[in-house]
């Protein structure tokens, strides 16, 4: 069966729970990119479809949006302390996140992506074994853009 056909049953869940915020209409190409860049390191344990299912399961289990919301941090184009953002996620998950930022047209540092390290089975968070290259670029105060 073609990979795209295998993905079809979970496509609605992926579209809702793991969208590309920067390119909302990219669809399957985005998920193929995610598999090629991140999922292949778990290939000895998880093929493509189980990888995406594990990612969805973790998202439901961890719910970073809810963790941030409990701390009063919501995607409303307001500015927040990067330290508080990281602390809210660590408090909720028990693990420290990697927060990546980009800069909007005005040059303001804004949250672009939050990453957590996961074991190869895709079932639980782990302490990151290394500091990923290129991570960060966040100011001490970051905007949390609405999406």
Q: pLDDT tens for residues 17-74?
A: 777 666 656 667 788 788 888 888 888 888 888 888 998 999 888 889 999 999 999 9
Instruction: Please compute, for residue 138, the number of CA atoms within 13 A of its CA located in the half-sphere on the CB side.
Output: 24
**pLDDT of res. 138:** 92
How far is residue 37's CA from residue 146's CA, in Å, rounded to a whole number?
A: 26
Q: Summarize pLDDT for 90-130 with one digit per residue, the tens.
A: 999 999 998 999 998 999 999 988 888 888 888 999 988 87
Per-residue model confidence (pLDDT) at position 49: 85
pLDDT at 7 over 90: no
Q: Are 89 and 14 in contact (CB under 8 A)?
A: no
8 Å CB contact between 111 and 40? no
Residue 2, pLDDT > 60, answer: no
* C-alpha–C-alpha distance, residues 67 and 41, integer Å: 27
| Mean pLDDT confidence for 136-142 | 89
Greater pLDDT, 143 or 135: 143
Burial of 94 (0-12, 13-18, 19+ CB in 10 A): exposed
Check the CA dihedral 48-54-60-63 and report its sign: negative
Residue 133 is predicted with a pLDDT of 62
Higher pLDDT, 1 or 38: 38
In the predicted model, is pLDDT for residue 131 greater than 90?
Answer: no
Structure tokens at 80: 């927040």
């Amino acid at each position: 069966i073609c990979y795209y056909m295998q993905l079809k049953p979970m496509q609605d869940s992926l579209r809702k729970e793991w969208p590309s915020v920067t390119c909302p209409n990219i669809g399957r190409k985005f998920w193929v990119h995610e598999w090629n860049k991140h999922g292949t390191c778990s290939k000895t344990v998880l093929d493509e479809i189980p990888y995406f299912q594990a990612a969805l399961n973790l998202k439901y289990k961890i719910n970073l949006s809810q963790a941030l919301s409990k701390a009063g941090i919501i995607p409303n184009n307001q500015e927040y302390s990067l330290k508080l953002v990281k602390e809210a996620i660590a408090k909720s998950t028990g693990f420290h996140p990697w927060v990546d930022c980009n800069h909007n047209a005005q040059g303001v540092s804004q949250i672009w992506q939050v990453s957590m390290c996961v074991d190869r089975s895709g079932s639980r968070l782990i302490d990151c074994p290394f500091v990923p290259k290129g991570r960060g670029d966040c100011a001490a105060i970051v905007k949390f853009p609405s999406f």
